[in-house]
Amino acid sequence: MSYLIIPEKYKPLMSMQQTEQGIKLIKEFFQQNLSTGLQLRRVTAPLFVLKGMGINDDLNGVERAVTFPIKDLADAKAEVVHSLAKWKRLTLAEYEVKPGYGIYTDMNAIRADESLGNLHSLYVDQWDWERVITADDRNIDFLKRIVRKIYSAMLRTEYLINETYPQLEPFLAREVFFIHSEELRRLYPDKTPKEREDAICREHGAVFIMGIGGKLGDGKEHDLRAPDYDDWTTPNQDGFMGLNGDLLVWNPILGRAMELSSMGIRVDRESMLRQLEMCGKEERKELYFHKKLLAGELPLSIGGGIGQSRLCMLFLQKAHIGEIQASIWPDDMRAQCAKAGIQLI
C-alpha cells in the first residue's frame, strides 16, 4: 500500500537541472569522504547473484527477490540483490583485506515488495560498505565511533551543498544522539516504533537507534532483521542486546524521521548460530555463505548501507525520492505530486 505525505505549501528550491547537478556533486563528494574516513577502497558489485547460495540478503526476512532464469546455465535462477551484506564479507576474504580497512560499492537493487511513498521506491541505490575488524572491536563503543565518522561525512557534504546553493539552509544536528531500542520503548511505551522514531528525532535531530532485530521488553521487535548478517543478540557493555542499529535524522520538509543508514557489527560464528536457531532458520547452515562463516573462512567485519537517493533528497530539500531518481509510481501518486508541485522524474 502506497503512502504519500504532501508538505503544506511545498515549493522546490531548485530547478530540475540544478537538482541533477546537485545529485552529482553530493554523490561524488560524499563517497570520497566516506572512503577516506573509514579507509575503504571502491570495488565493483553484482546486480544479481545465484539463488540458493545464501549470498543475497533477505532484509526483514519476508521480502521476495526479483528472480529470472539464465538460459546458458540450464535455466538456473538468479536473484536481483536486496543488499550486499554477505557478498561484501565474501569479497573482504577474497581480497585479503586487513583489519582497519575495507571496501565500498554502488549497490543498485529492485525491491518489488516496497510500500511506495516519499521515502520508498522500487529502485534502491546505496553506498554499501564493509570493513574488517578484530575481535576487540566487537563492542558498542567501536560501533558508535564508526557512526560518528559517517555522520561527520554527512555534515561536510551538507556544508558544501549549502555553500554551492545558498537557497538551501543547513538543518542537520551537529552531533548524533545514541539510544538503544529498549530505552526508546521505555521512553515512549504507548507509541509504535515509527512514532518513537519521530519523537526522538524531533527532539535530537540525528539519532542512532541500537539493537534492531531482537524482541524488546514488550515481546515485540523495534524492527525486523534477518538472522545472518547483523549481530542483534550479543550483549553490549551498556546492558542491552545488539551491536547494530539505524541512523535517522529529522526531515523538516516531511516533518518526520528519515532513516539514512542501517548498519552494524556482523555476526560471528556463535551469534549466527544463535540467531538462526531463534528464527527457525537453521537449515541455512548448509548454504555456501553460511558454511564459509561457520568454518572460520570469513573475517570479522562491520558494515552497512547508506541511501544515495535519500541523502540527495535530504540535502536538496526535496519532498519525494522520485524527485531524485527515476522509478515507477502509481498514477494517483503522480497526479497528487504534480498538483502539489512535486516534480517526479
Q: How far apart are CA 232 and CA 224, in angstroms?
A: 10
Q: Quote the cell numbers at residue 1.
A: 500500500
- What pTM was estimated for this model as a whole? 0.94
pLDDT per residue over 97-123, tens digit each? Answer: 999 999 999 999 998 888 999 999 999
Compare 33 and 51 and report the one with higher pLDDT.
Answer: 33
Confidence bin at 271 (pLDDT 50/70/90): very high
- Domain range annotation of the chain: 16-339
Q: How many CB atoms lie within 10 A of CB 169?
A: 10
Confidence bin at 91 (pLDDT 50/70/90): very high
Q: Which of 172, 243, 238, 159 is nearest to 204 (CA)?
A: 172
Class of domain 16-339: alpha beta
Average pLDDT in the 311-327 region? 97
3-class DSSP state of 180 = strand
Spell 273-305 as b/e; 16+ CB within 10 A means b.
bbbbeebebeebbebebbebbeeeebbbbbbbb
Q: Which of 84, 82, 95, 106 is nearest to 132 (CA)?
A: 95
CB 242 within 8 A of CB 213: yes
Q: Residue 81 above 80 pLDDT?
A: yes
**What are the start-end ranges of the H helices in 165-287?**
181-187, 193-204, 269-278
Q: Residue 2 above 90 pLDDT?
A: no
Residues known to be catalytic: 57, 111, 126, 246, 259, 262
Quote the Cα angle for 95-273-242, to 5°: 85
Q: How far apart are CA 306 and CA 127, in angstroms?
A: 5
Q: What is the mean pLDDT of the chain?
A: 94
Provide, rounded to the nearest whole percent, the portion of the chain with pLDDT above 70.
98
Confidence bin at 164 (pLDDT 50/70/90): very high
Q: Residue 61 above 60 pLDDT?
A: no
Q: Quote the cell numbers at residue 191.
A: 507509541
CB 53 within 8 A of CB 287: yes
pLDDT per residue over 181-223, tens digit each? Answer: 999 999 999 999 999 999 999 999 999 999 999 999 999 999 9
pLDDT per residue over 227-242, tens digit each? Answer: 999 999 999 888 899 9
Q: How far apart are CA 286 and CA 292, in angstroms?
A: 10
Confidence bin at 55 (pLDDT 50/70/90): confident
